[in-house]
Amino acid sequence: MINFWSYDIEYKENRSKFLKIFDKTYKSGQIFFGKNLENFENNFKKKYKSKYGLAVGSGTDALLISLMSLNIKRGDEVITASNTAIPTISAIVNSGAIPILVDIDENYLIDISKLKKSINKKTKAIIPVHLYGKPCKMDEIIQISKKYKIHVVEDCAQAQGAKFRGKYVGTFGTFGCFSFYPTKILGGYGDGGFILTNNYQLYKNAKSIRFYGIDTVDKKNKFFNKYYSNISGVNSRLDELNAKILDFKLKKIDTFIKKRRNIAKIYHKELKDSSLTLPQSSKSTFDVYHLYNVYHKKRDLIIKRLLREGVQTRIIYPYPIHKMKGYKKFFKKKSFPISEVRSKGIFSLPIYPNLKIKDVRIICKKLKNVLKSLK
């Protein structure tokens, strides 16, 4: 079986290093908020050319804490794409804001031509989601946000290291939010997330909010790091062990991305004449292929046959968020036709740095045979 994703090879390759990290971390006597976290935060923000960086407990928390830092109030509106992961919406809802959806374009990203119509006096922020590793058109989004004076909180959970016109995603908006869920571009061994910003006051807010609202930035504050909160917060920590593992993996991130892009190149070359709709690359974006997402009307049959042939695939995402029982009550608008049509035909092929090229070729061969058998 060719798995959709696996960390087996990576773990085997790095096991002795990880065991050393484990031992050194726990011998230090510090489980949270130690040197490992400090180093990781510094290295991450330097790598992505931002002034401030803050590690948190997950990508969902990164979005939630960013929104809370903007002092979003009940009844404010936050706009995002209708084809996204549940956490983008759960972060908006948990911040107290009303999520406003905008349908997607041909790249599965927020349709900017429809964005302006959704902005009104209540709009506080836009969350562009760089889905599947593809950057949104950030020049146009930033232009709109400046015109209407609204914040941009970038959801980079699937796009760490991607660039729009040479600039890293996560560095355009007020906040850039990242996820270290194990399958992600920088995958941890557990949950984790990160917030980038260039705004000192907002960094200070976010850093307090991740720690119950306690100020851990301003040493002149008489309540500095005391058990006292000025703003209400949450508990969202990245522990020392995961921080060190992520710091170690961060050094290899460009190689991970190179490998993903190489696999995507093979898929593209092998499948370009097939009946699948493939992801399109463009000159203005540097895509990192968190997922290699394709579309076919006979998706269900294809993935069933591929599985029989020993190839696992996944549908990301099979149900549009506005159709889900737990979330549909939050949306005023009930129909997002492009997301609905796409959700019925999309599926993702295996892609991760340690996937063997030999296996990529096997996937292509089997997939082409399955597609032929449909005729």
Ligand X SMILES: Cc1ncc(COP(=O)(O)O)c(C=O)c1O
- The residues binding ligand X (CB under 6 A) are 58-60, 84-85, 87-88, 129, 155, 157-158, 179, 181, 191, 193
Give me the least distance between CB of 181 and ligand X, in Å please.
4
Of all residues in the shown chain, the one whose CB is closest to ligand X is 59
What token pair was written down for 146? 């400046």
- CA 230/CA 255 separation, integer angstroms: 43
In this complex, which beta carbon is closest to ligand X, that of residue 178 or of residue 203? 178
Beta-strand pair 77-81/98-102 = parallel
Give me the least distance between CB of 149 and ligand X, in Å please.
25
Alpha-carbon 166 to chain mean position = 19
Give me the least distance between CB of 140 and ligand X, in Å please.
20
Provide the phi-psi class of 108: left if phi over 0, else alpha when psi is between -120 and 50, else beta. Answer: left
DSSP string, 30-47: -SSSSHHHHHHHHHHHHH
In this complex, which beta carbon is closest to ligand X, that of residue 57 or of residue 353? 57
- CA 230/CA 241 separation, integer angstroms: 30
Give me the least distance between CB of 60 and ligand X, in Å please.
3
In this complex, which beta carbon is closest to ligand X, that of residue 260 or of residue 305? 260
Provide the phi-psi class of 258: left if phi over 0, else alpha when psi is between -120 and 50, else beta. Answer: alpha
In this complex, which beta carbon is closest to ligand X, that of residue 77 or of residue 191? 191
CB neighbours (10 Å) of residue 362? 15
> For the chain, what is the radius of gyration of the CA atoms?
21
In this complex, which beta carbon is closest to ligand X, that of residue 88 or of residue 174? 88
In this complex, which beta carbon is closest to ligand X, that of residue 48 or of residue 271? 48
Give me the least distance between CB of 89 and ligand X, in Å please.
9
Q: What angle do CA 33, 243, 216 make, to 5 degrees?
A: 25
In this complex, which beta carbon is closest to ligand X, that of residue 298 or of residue 314? 314
What token pair was written down for 274? 């097939």
Give me the least distance between CB of 58 and ligand X, in Å please.
3
In this complex, which beta carbon is closest to ligand X, that of residue 58 or of residue 174? 58
Cβ-based neighbours of 16, under 8 Å, separated by 6 or more = none
Give me the least distance between CB of 24 and ligand X, in Å please.
26
Give me the least distance between CB of 158 and ligand X, in Å please.
5
Under DSSP, is residue 311 helix (H, G, I), strand (E, B) or coil? strand
The answer to whether residues 99 and 92 touch, using CB atoms and an 8 Å cutoff, is yes
| Residue 55 main-chain phi, psi, to 5 deg | -85, 140
